[in-house]
Chains A and B, each alone.
Chain A
Amino acid sequence: MKRYDAIVIGAGHNGLTNAAYLAKAGLDVLVVERNPYIGGATVSRELYKGWLYSNCSYVCSLLRPEIARDLELPRHGLQVVPYGGGVTFMQNGDYFGNYADHERQHREIARHSQRDANAYDRFQADVTKQTRLIRPFLMRTPPDPTSFKPRDIKELLYLAKAFTDLGEETLADTLRFWTMSIGDFLDEYFETDVLKAHLAGSGIIGTALGVYSPGTAYVLLHHYMGDVDGNIGAWGFARGGMGAVAEALAKALQAYGGEIRVDAEVDQIIVAHGKVKGVALVGGDELHADIVVSNLDPKRTFTRIMAASDLPADVVTKAKNFKIRGSSGKVNIALDGLPTFHGLDRASELMISDMHIIDSMERMERAYDDWKNGTWSQDPYVDMLIPTQVDPTMAPPGKHMMSIFVQYVPPTLATGDWTDADRDAFGKTVIDQISKYSPDFKDLILDAEIRTPRELEDEVGLTEGNIFQGELTFDQLLFNRPFPGYAQYRGPVRGMYLCGSGTHPGGGVMAAPGANAAREIFRDLRRPNLVPEAYADD
């Protein structure tokens, strides 16, 4: 039987990134994937003839440009096309348009409040200060604050310097920012409900917290720290859908000589004498390697494909306690034409932007109350996009694909586990909600794929359907991600590593966890590091 140098479990973007770096270093690498297709949550599938659905992640900003360039993803077919701005439809028939152009944005905010229009500049500068603090750490391994190893001390000093360089006032802001709620944060800048609701969305997406829950301000930062071509905070469409990211990574991996095996579900990571030996597949095959890297979330990794008896008790406990609550669903729709929205010209560039429904933070908090009560939000927050206005590859000409991210959706219902009837009822709630703002929307629907946390867990493998592989709260960030003592990508068993979004710096299709894990593996193998450093910005 063939022996590999390394086996990566899961062909999500981080697994592929990790494997690509290992293969680039000359290791014999195999990626095993449970599904018949690759991509994990970075996937586009033709689920309706002629239409490609990016049925999990749907837009691209956080993908580290250093990695995209280093692995030659553009040469392997990845093209990211920026889009601008956003819009929130209001119950009174009006809308708030968050234009990408600063002056138009100013004018549009001023339409609601002149003061807020000016305060937005202060907000933008303050958020930018925070993104500038975090960005250099995306491509670094977090230090262990309890360690006295020279490397950890050096890294802690680097961290300390970055913090003190902020200056007293910004440092104080940072400590508050990382722990406060997005609602409280926005209240310090703005008076307009719709503007706050529009911006608050970024603080709760994928997070089982409300706009007034502490910790949600950081989640906003997580959505602002990416960039497209150096425009920090900008988002783009991957041409061909988010699956194009995984496809390009797979091609890079294969170009370096790595292999991918689909329809290969890992039953268990084989451990002997405190070291990994390989993986046992469902069906009985065993594949051997001294390095096994899990792209699965920490909870799934440690509680589903590893035996508790092979692990330290504290790891099993920490994995069980890991906060990875499902909070969102997804509806993907094939449309017979471009829908119209109240008050918005179909030619407006706002049609090609993040379209939201929910015009006040109070409604957002109520939407969260439903989640707590064990039901999907009856007045749900949605983040909708119609990428086919820009991307000619995802639907026939004149037809459209609409991606609808929905918050909040609980992992289990008060009535028990999700049923197909519940799923369809949830889909109806979402479609009815959008129809209130788009009179012709329903008539244009050709097909709808409805995904609750149940489908996200069963099909993609994300525990509870949590899109970030674990919540992005400060207790689970940086050297606490996924849990203290295991934030440097090494598992508790020799030769075993984690490389998914459940590790630093978290989810959002960054590919940084996969690359950072590769760097640690190179270190353990005493091989030269091939993972690039972050671009500087001073």
Chain B
Amino acid sequence: MIRAHDDRRVLHTPFHSRVEAACEINEWEDWKGYTTPVAYTDVELEYFAIRNSCGVFDLTPMTKYRITGPDAGSYLDRLLTRNIAKLAIGQVMYACWCNDAGQVLDDGTLFRLDDNVYRICSQERHLDWLLWSAMGFNVQIEDETEAVAALAFQGPTSCAVLKRMGFAGVENLKPYRFDSFAFSQGEILISRTGFTGDLGYELWVTPEVAESLWDQLMAAGRDYGIRPFGGTALGIARIEAGFIQAGVDFVPAQDAVRTGRSRSPYELGLGWLVHLKKSNFNGRKALIEEKANGSRHNLARLLVEGNKPANNSFIFDRKDNLLGTVTSATWSPTTKSNLAFASLDSPWGRPGDELYAEIYYIRELKWTRVIERCHVVEGAFFDPKRRHATPAWDF
């Protein structure tokens, strides 16, 4: 069936009327064809809503696939590098998937909605690859990006606001769990997930009730410091949380045209997502080989001395040998430190390695170059207790 023409230059999410009204500074960017705010009012205020009160982010444009059918579980086990056997209904799992060469196509979250019903959320689109991988499996794969409206609702007071909205028992949701609640003559799916590394939730509804969800959330959150936030504030929070992003920290393998530009899970610090003991999954053979022979790169999380963000910096060793480049960097307002991710040649990126970032910064049109020592950190830069505590704290 051929759908009607859609000649619009940009798409609007189901929250657009509210987003547009709230986007006071009128700064927008394209996200998979949807126009979405870079920021609404003030990046600093938006960022501190995430870390101090609560913030709302429209994540509808995130790619979502619904996977159903009797073979859904075994299919996903073949698609993903991670063992999904223990994924219970109502549970969410972070995962990545590779091509046959063991190179990462994307990372994302897998929701087990029901016995044979799953949802994959990711940055990039993968229908072609998902269908290729589905040959021989009795599954249906459907792009439900447009059919599901979603908000990220993140921050210390997020649970208190949801309770106030009447979602009884939401505080008992453990991290990476979700549940359904009655909402507006229908239902809302609330997952304790997010991209900020803080206490937070993602709210999933049908597009028809999207505006109503936004309105009710804003009303309930008024006394809890609620504030919509855009891509820039999220970008700071996700670096603090240590989360990598497709297209920023790695080139999705399907888009890489230059030899050697794609990355394996091991090269992105995602080795913990690879379960080589599984009998068969996409990329397994290549990953076994890599495990045996060693990787070409490492993605390192770096604490950079000084206070100048190391965006796009080259990383050198003590003898000025080029080791790699920074993929993401920010000044962290919460940890009061200077953070970066860097893709480095192996074996560099080990704790204790002596690394230096070449940083350029501008003051009144004068560019200055500084060399700052970097320290490799393992795990997240910021990982508050409230992120893990169940029942969730009120603030």
Q: Which of A359-381 contact B (CB under 8 A)?
A: none
- The reply to whether the CB of B258 lies closer than 8 angstroms to some CB of chain A is yes
Q: Which residues of A contact B143 (CB under 8 A)?
A: 114
Q: Which residues of B contact A342 (CB under 8 A)?
A: none
Q: Is A111 an interface residue (CB 8 A)?
A: yes
Candidate in A107, A111, A118 with the most chain B CB atoms within 10 angstroms: A118
Question: Which segment of A122-130, A149-157, A424-432 sits at the interface?
Answer: A122-130
**A101, B9: Cβ atoms closer than 8 Å:** yes
Q: Is A132 an interface residue (CB 8 A)?
A: yes
Size bracket of the A interface: 20 to 34
Contacting pair A129 B128 (CB below 8 A): no
CA distance A101 to B11 in the complex (A): 13
Q: Are A106 and B3 in contact (CB under 8 A)?
A: no
Residue of A with least CB distance to B34: A103
**B388 interface hit (Cβ, 8 Å):** no
Residue B101 at the chain A interface, CB threshold 8 Å: yes
Enumerate A93-121 residues with CB–CB distance to B below 8 Å. 94, 97, 101, 103-104, 106-108, 110-112, 114-115, 117-119, 121
In the assembled complex, which residues on chain A have CB atoms less than 8 Å from the CB atom of B255?
A: 121, 125
Question: Number of contact residues on B: which range applies?
Answer: 20 to 34
Nearest B residue to A343 via CB reads B5
Given contacts A111-B2, A114-B143, are A538 and B7 in contact (CB under 8 A)?
Answer: no
B33 touches A106 (CB 8 A): yes
Contacts of A110 in B (CB 8 A): 3
Tell me which residues from 12 to 59 in chain B have a Cβ below 8 Å from any Cβ of chain A: 30, 32-33
Q: Are B9 and A128 in contact (CB under 8 A)?
A: no
Q: How far is the CB of A480 from chain B (nearest CB, A)?
A: 26
Are A169 and B127 neighbours in the complex by a CB distance under 8 Å? no
> Any chain B CB within 8 A of the CB of A170?
yes
Task: Tell me which residues across on chain B come within 8 A of A97, comparing CB atoms.
Answer: 7
Among A112, A118, A119, A166, point to the contact of B259 (Cβ < 8 A): A166
Mostly, the B contact residues are loop
| Inter-chain contact B128/A169, CB cutoff 8 Å | no
Q: Do the beta carbons of B2 and A112 come within 8 Å of each other?
A: yes
A165, B10: Cα distance in complex, Å: 39
State whether B5 touches A128 (Cβ < 8 A): no
B126 contacts chain A at the CB level, 8 A cutoff: yes
Q: Confirm or deny: A345 has a beta carbon within 8 angstroms of a beta carbon on chain B.
A: yes
The answer to whether A103 touches B30 (Cβ under 8 A) is yes
Q: Is B125 an interface residue (CB 8 A)?
A: yes
Q: Is B256 an interface residue (CB 8 A)?
A: yes
Majority DSSP secondary structure for residues of A touching B:
helix
* List of B residues within 8 angstroms of A165 by Cβ: 259
Contacts of A169 in B (CB 8 A): 101
Contacts A115-B127, A115-B131; is A122 near B7 (CB within 8 Å)?
no
Determine whether the beta carbon of A94 is less than 8 Å from that of B128. Answer: no
Determine the residue in chain A with the shortest Cβ distance to B259. Answer: A167
Contact residues in A for B258 (Cβ distance below 8 Å) = 132, 538
Q: In the complex, what residues of B have CB within 8 A of residue A101's CB?
A: 9
Contact present for A125 and B256 (CB under 8 Å): yes
Kindly state the separation between the CA atoms of A169 and B260 in the bound complex, as whole angstroms.
12
**Contact indicator A107/B127 (Cβ below 8 Å):** no
Contact status of A104 and B33, CB under 8 A, knowing A121-B254, A348-B7? yes
Residue of B nearest to A345 (CB): B7
Q: Contacts A101-B9, A104-B9; is A119 near B128 (CB within 8 Å)? A: yes
Q: Is B257 an interface residue (CB 8 A)?
A: yes
> How close is A284's CB to chain B, nearest CB, in angstroms?
57
- Taking a contact as CB atoms under 8 Å apart, the answer to whether B259 and A121 are in contact is no
Which chain B residue has the least Cβ–Cβ distance from A120? B128
Across the interface, name the chain B residue whose C-beta is closest to A168.
Answer: B101
A331 to nearest B CB, angstroms? 29
- B276: shortest Cβ distance to chain A, in Å? 22
Interface residue ranges, A against B (CB under 8 Å): 94, 97, 101, 103-104, 106-108, 110-112, 114-115, 117-119, 121-122, 125, 128-129, 132, 165-167, 169-170, 343, 345, 348, 538
With A111-B3, A343-B5 known, 18 other A-B pairs at CB within 8 A are A94-B2, A103-B11, A103-B30, A104-B7, A104-B33, A106-B33, A111-B4, A111-B6, A115-B128, A117-B125, A119-B128, A121-B128, A121-B255, A125-B257, A132-B257, A167-B259, A170-B259, A348-B7
